[in-house]
């Protein structure tokens, strides 16, 4: 057993979930180490958001176990949540709080004392300085996304869960968010990054986790993915590997359908 301080930021064991008759996740197991970025990819409906929401403690765990920094998300919910931050795919800020107050609120929620300097730094990093007095209800899609990122970054979590963090951002915002994710991981935070932008995953992630219809079809580095899933074409892009893994690309004649490594 690990103590909470040296426990891996995220351990997922046999996670499963159904919505009524639909099976959304089946037997998903993986771990993310400190300072590692794991890219979570899959077609629409593959179970990415369900997995992220289950890990964040938003959806009750139906099957399996999730440990965040050594704390069980079901049994030790509050301690587990203190260790993680989450950026949803469509953030809904509070209509009646200003941008600055969102950060103040987040700081209080995570029991932070000296947060102002870090908040200022994040306002600059996510280009929110001019919007600091704007109400949440007045923000554009991109600004809402930036605010959600700033809120998630503020408590310096040990685990960061990002669900399509770049959607709605302009090119400059995309570049600074990409840089922010890299810096975060360099600081020791484990990042689980879900995105359809495969070039982002390719650029940032050390390992990729591919889901297909709720099941893990691959977990490993991109090189391993190429070797396992698309052995005939060294140097292929993640996009080709992904399409091959999920069956979205017609396999070559006689070629095997990829299976879990």
Partner 1 sequence: MNLGFGSPALGLLLALKLRGALRRQWRRMRTPKGFVLTLIGTAAFVIWIGYLSFWSHARAEPPLTPMAAELRTRAFAGMLVVFSLSNALSNRGLFLPKAEIERLFSAPVSRADLVRYRLLSNGLRSLLGGLVLGLYGARRMPGPVWAFLGILLAMQTLPVVNQFVAIVLAGLGPKTAQRLKRAGSFLLTAFLLLLAAVAYALVSRRPMAELPLVGAWLAPSFAPDADPFAHPLLELVTWPLAPWARMIRAETLGAFLPWFLGCLAVHVLLVELCARVPIDFRELSLATSVRAAARVARLRRGGGVAATRASTSAALWRIPWFFGRGPLGAIAWRKSAGMARKAKGAFWVALVALLFITILVSVMLDGAEEGPALLAPALIGVLGTVYLCSGLRFDFREELERMDVIRSWPLAPARVFLATILPEVVLVAVLVAGTVLLAGALSQGLTTQVVLVALCVPFAVFTWVGLDNLVFLVAPVRFVPGQDGFVQNAGRRMIQMALLTALAVVFGSAGGAGFVGAGWVAGALGAPESVALVASFIGLALLLGAGDALLVRLGGFALRRFDVARDRG
For CA atoms 188, 51, 219, 42, the dihedral sign is: negative
Binding mask 18-57 for partner 1 (x = CB under 8 A): -x------------------------------x--x--xx
**Identity of the residue, 30 or 105, whose beta carbon is nearer to partner 1 in the bound complex:** 105
**Identity of the residue, 79 or 227, whose beta carbon is nearer to partner 1 in the bound complex:** 79
Min. distance of Cβ 74 from partner 1 in angstroms? 10
DSSP per residue, 191-230: EEEE-S-HHHHHHH-SEEEEEETTEEEEEE-HHHHHHHH-
Report which of 261, 212, 175 is spatially closest to residue 40, judged by C-alpha positions. Answer: 212
Instruction: Choose one: 29-37, 134-142, 172-180, 227-235; the region binding partner 1 (CB under 8 A).
Output: 134-142
Beta carbons of 62 and 33 less than 8 angstroms apart: no
Query: Which residues inside 52-71 make contact with partner 1, applying CB under 8 A?
Result: 53, 56-60
DSSP per residue, 101-164: HHHHHHHHHTT-SS-HHHHHHHHHHTT-GGGTTSBGGG--HHHHHHHHHHHHHTT--SEEEEES
Q: Could you tell me how many residues of this chain bind partner 1 (CB under 8 A)?
A: 34
> Taking CB under 8 A as the rule, does residue 142 contact partner 1?
no
3-state secondary structure of 242: helix
3-state secondary structure of 65: strand
Min. distance of Cβ 85 from partner 1 in angstroms? 8
**Identity of the residue, 142 or 247, whose beta carbon is nearer to partner 1 in the bound complex:** 142
**Applying CB under 8 A, which residues contact partner 1?**
19, 50, 53, 56-60, 77-79, 81-82, 84, 86, 88, 91-92, 94-98, 101, 105, 108-111, 133-135, 137-138
């Amino acid at each position: 057993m690990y103590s909470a301080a040296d426990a891996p930021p995220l351990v997922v064991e046999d996670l499963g979930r159904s919505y009524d008759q639909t099976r959304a996740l089946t037997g998903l197991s993986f771990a993310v180490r400190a300072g590692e970025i794991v890219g979570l990819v899959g077609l629409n409906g593959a179970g990415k958001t369900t997995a992220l929401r289950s890990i964040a403690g938003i959806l009750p765990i139906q099957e399996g176990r999730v440990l965040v920094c050594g704390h069980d998300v079901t049994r030790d919910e509050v301690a587990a949540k203190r260790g993680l931050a989450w950026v949803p795919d469509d953030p809904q800020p509070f209509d009646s709080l200003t941008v600055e107050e969102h950060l103040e609120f987040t700081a209080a929620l995570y029991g932070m004392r000296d947060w102002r300097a870090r908040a200022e730094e994040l306002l600059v990093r996510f280009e929110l300085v001019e919007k600091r007095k704007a109400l949440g209800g007045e923000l554009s899609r991109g600004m809402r996304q930036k605010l959600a990122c700033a809120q998630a970054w503020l408590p310096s979590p040990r685990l960061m869960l990002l669900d399509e963090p770049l959607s709605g951002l302009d090119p400059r915002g995309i570049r600074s968010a990409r840089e922010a994710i890299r810096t975060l991981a360099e600081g020791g935070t484990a990042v689980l990054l879900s995105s359809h932008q495969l070039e982002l995953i390719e650029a940032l992630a050390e390992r990729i986790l591919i889901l297909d219809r709720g099941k893990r079809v691959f977990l490993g580095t991109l090189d391993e993915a190429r070797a396992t899933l698309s052995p005939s074409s060294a140097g292929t892009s993640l996009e080709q590997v992904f399409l091959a893994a999920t069956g979205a690309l017609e396999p070559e004649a006689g070629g095997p359908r990829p299976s879990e490594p």
